[in-house]
Structure 1
Amino acid sequence: MRIDSGQLETRLTSSSGRSLAFMTNTERAMVMLLQDEGDPGEHAVDPEAEGASEGFVLSNGQDDEYPDEDTVPMGEAFRLVEHIVGTGSWPADARWVVDR
């Protein structure tokens, strides 16, 4: 598994240029959908979450901290990714915001 090997960022890109980005600190994850390179995109949120979490290490070595409301617990992140990969869109019950 990528997480077990310390690879905490994954990006899946379709032939149309649309991509799904997943970054985790192993407890919470940032899940983003981007239309193309440079698109600010849209991301999953957890509006009731409080505080912030650090340890989101990107492939370029950057170590980020995000407000917990802008990330989701790992179980929810995996559910979202599975649905997006299978259908191309957020689940009907997902909570997400557009950053464009």
Structure 2
Amino acid sequence: MTEEWEWKVGCAGPVSPGAALAQLRARAAEGGFEAWLTSGSGRQLAVVSNAERAMVLLLEGAGDPGEHAVDPDVEGWSAGFVLANGQDDEYPDEDTVPIGRALTIVEHILTTGRPSADTPWSVDR
């Protein structure tokens, strides 16, 4: 059985992968955003985007440094990653992925419970 996920803030109860992606796409169309999903097992999936690139984090639970999707063949930095608390971050582009790729990564995790084998990850534990 596939793991059930729900929004950490704003909605109660499980959300389908399709509904979660639709909401993430809508938020991306509006600009940068921060979104968190939590699974029934306590895992957390976060997307922080500046509308062009996104950091995708997967944590095993509260307090876990987790892991994040990477784009190892790019250089440079991107700014405009505004967190819900107002903090405005910038990240090396290698630590983020293009927003379209981020949504594909999230879809795979929500439907299979794990990252795709063809996505490079940096383990921060």
TM-score range, shorter chain: over 0.9
RMSD between aligned residues: 1.2
- 2:80 is aligned with what amino acid? G
The 5-angstrom pairing of residues 74-93 of structure 1 reads: 74-93=99-118
- Structure richer in helix, relative to its length: 2
Shift of 1:3: 3.1
Instruction: Give the TM-score normalised by the residue count of structure 2.
Output: 0.76
Gaps of 5+ in 2: 1-25
Deviation readout 1:26-57 (Å, 9 max, x if unpaired): 00000000011111100000001100000000
Letter in 2 for 1:26: A
> Cα offset for 1:70?
0.2
Q: SS at 2:27's partner residue?
A: coil
Partner of residue 15, structure 1: 40
Unmatched segments (≥5 aa) in structure 1: none
Structure number with larger C-alpha Rg:
2
The 3-state SS of whatever aligns with 2:101 is: helix
Identity of aligned residues (%): 64
Q: Distance in 2 between matches of 1:49 and 1:6?
A: 22
Amino acid at match of 1:82: E
